[in-house]
Amino acid sequence: MDTQKVQSYMVQEQTQRVMLESLLNRLGELNAIGASLSSERDINRLLESILEAAKKITNADAGTLYLANAAGQMLTFEILHNDSLNIRMGGTSGEPCTFFPIHLYIDEKPNHAMVVSHAALSGETVNIPDAYVAEGFDFSGTKNFDSKTGYRSRSFLAVPMRNHEHEIIGVLQLINAQDRVSGNVQQFSKDDQQLLESLASQAAIAITNRRLIQQMEDLFESFISLINTAIDDKSAYTGGHCARVPTLTMMLAEAASRSELGELKDFHLTDKDRYELKIAGLLHDCGKITTPVHVVDKATKLQTLYDRIELIDTRFEVLKRDAHIECLEGKITSAEYAARIQQLDDDRNFLRHCNVGAEKMQEAELARVCSIAQYQWGNPQDISNQGASSVSSKTSNFLSENELENLCIRAGTLTTAERKVINHHIEVTIKMLESLPWPMHLSRVPEYAGGHHERMDGKGYPKGLRREQMSVQARLMGIADIFEALTAKDRPYKAGKTLTESLTILGQFKQNGHIDPELFEVFMREKVYLDYAHRFLSPEQIDKVDEANIPGYAP
């Protein structure tokens, strides 16, 4: 008898030891789960992890995670897993939860008929051994589900999730606890309940933190959008630039991250890297908020508040009038008059062509502008102290110094001083971004955004950095900025170039040390340019590209 007692005691002791070890193991799992939940950024994966963790520590066969809506009037199905039926809904599964939400109030009265609604309303855990014999709750929906699927829902454990402000944000409901040895369905134990309550508390904190972070990120991105809207509204001609460059930047970044060649084989983007680069792309031109509109929108060389080419047209008319008078007075012949009129018309058309700034001017063209500038024209001046009928004619050069300077711009429409004003935006961008208290995961935003006008050979601006001094992110943003500018069809001074024209120029930039050669290879090889074109370019711009003829690229 004593031997039997000893054996029985030993069995009980062994059982208790196993149970204790199991509980300690589950507590360890719970701690590990809490650490992993705090680091998860994606809300869908976070919710999935919470439900899977709940099922694991209680050995439950199925479970559902509900979240309360913003108004606190209903619980929506977010994640539903059932191992026996191989059901995965919500989260990252790709299968939406098609069940109707559970209303917490019906006809303005609290709905305590459902297990999860009661748990949410009361803030209390509900532990039911067998739903089919339980009283006080409506399990008609559960029984209907079972009849359709052949499942047998038995034990239930519903735990409310309460945030740091003691608000119920959702409910974790598990179904059918399974014995870890036999696999038989059993009631959820007190240990199960305590572990799940602890997990629910951690889960509520993780969900709330993730929501708060998401709200802060949304607010931050909305503020960035506000700045870009102000820039775009300031200049209709660059309205899409602030949106297109970040998109192209991310497209090229993803292609570079997939590359297994050269230096880029070690370049791989994490979710944090992607977000940091996205923010840098959105803010890359924030300094343009200080750039004067008349410089940004300068469509022609002579444009200020208006295009001064019209004033020059008037002067040509004055010279033609003077030639006509000279012909009438017999000072020149009809042939000389016709030749002078033809010359003046040619000169006017020439200056109009120069004013557009679409092509690089040659030395002969610059000399011709200077020659025209020396024409003399009479500018009538009223002399009031000599009577209204007395008029003197003051002769001056045909073009003013400012007009001559602008018409002699070799390429584009901006003078050297105006180009400095435009270029200053990147210095303002860097100054603005470096003044912000960036969190660690966004600390490189100023460097990425501030480097998109640098060159690989050190001839860029504002810092004159060389390739080895720049991050891959800053280098790829430079390519995105250039290609967007080449293909943009909303610039005041040019039409959007075709793919072939744009890639030819980009290839030349690669050859002369302007852009990163490896990223240019990825841009071409991965057809990033074509993906971008289908999204943002006009059909007439998307011509057939012969990659063999693109400078600096060998297909």
pLDDT tens digits for the chain (555 residues)? 566 655 555 556 555 554 555 555 655 555 556 555 666 677 888 888 889 888 988 999 999 999 999 888 999 999 999 999 999 999 888 898 888 999 999 998 999 999 999 999 999 999 999 999 999 999 999 999 999 999 999 999 999 999 888 889 999 999 999 998 899 999 999 989 988 898 888 888 888 888 888 888 899 889 888 887 877 777 666 667 888 999 999 999 999 999 988 889 999 999 899 999 999 999 998 888 888 888 877 888 898 878 899 999 999 999 999 999 999 999 999 999 999 999 999 999 999 999 988 778 999 999 999 999 999 987 654 434 444 444 445 788 999 999 999 999 998 888 889 888 888 889 999 999 999 999 999 999 999 999 999 999 999 999 999 999 999 999 999 999 999 989 987 666 567 889 999 999 999 999 999 999 999 999 999 999 999 999 999 999 999 999 999 999 988
347 near 316, Cβ under 8 Å?
A: yes
Local structure of 356: helix, strand or coil = helix
Query: Of how many residues is the chain composed?
Result: 555
Look up residue 93 and give its two tokens. 């599964």
pLDDT at res. 494: 66
pLDDT of residue 117: 95
Q: Is 307 exposed, middle or buried (0-12, 13-18, 19+ CB in 10 A)?
A: middle
DSSP structural state of residue 457: B
CA dihedral 364, 369, 370, 373 (to 10 degrees): 160
Q: Which two tokens stand for residue 66?
A: 């509900």
pLDDT score recorded for residue 7: 58
> pTM of the full predicted structure?
0.71
Res 493: pLDDT: 59
Q: What is the identity of the amino acid at 25?
A: N
* 3-class DSSP state of 90: strand
How far is residue 224's CA from residue 243's CA, in Å, rounded to a whole number?
11
Q: What's the pLDDT score for residue 469?
A: 95
Burial 333-370 (b: 16+ CB within 10 A, else e): eeeebeebbeebeebbeebeebbebeeebeeebeebbe
Q: Mapping DSSP to helix (H, G, I), strand (E, B) and coil, where does residue 502 land?
A: helix
Residue 193 in 3-state DSSP?
A: helix
CA distances from 375 to 59, 147, 308, 399, 409 (A): 96, 99, 17, 8, 20
Q: Are 466 and 474 in contact (CB under 8 A)?
A: no
pLDDT at 391: 41
Task: Go through the domains of the chain in sequence order and give each one's CATH number.
Answer: 20-213 (3.30.450.40), 235-297+416-549 (1.10.3210.10), 309-407 (no CATH)
What is the distance between the alpha carbons of residues 248 and 478, in angstroms, rounded to a whole number? Answer: 11
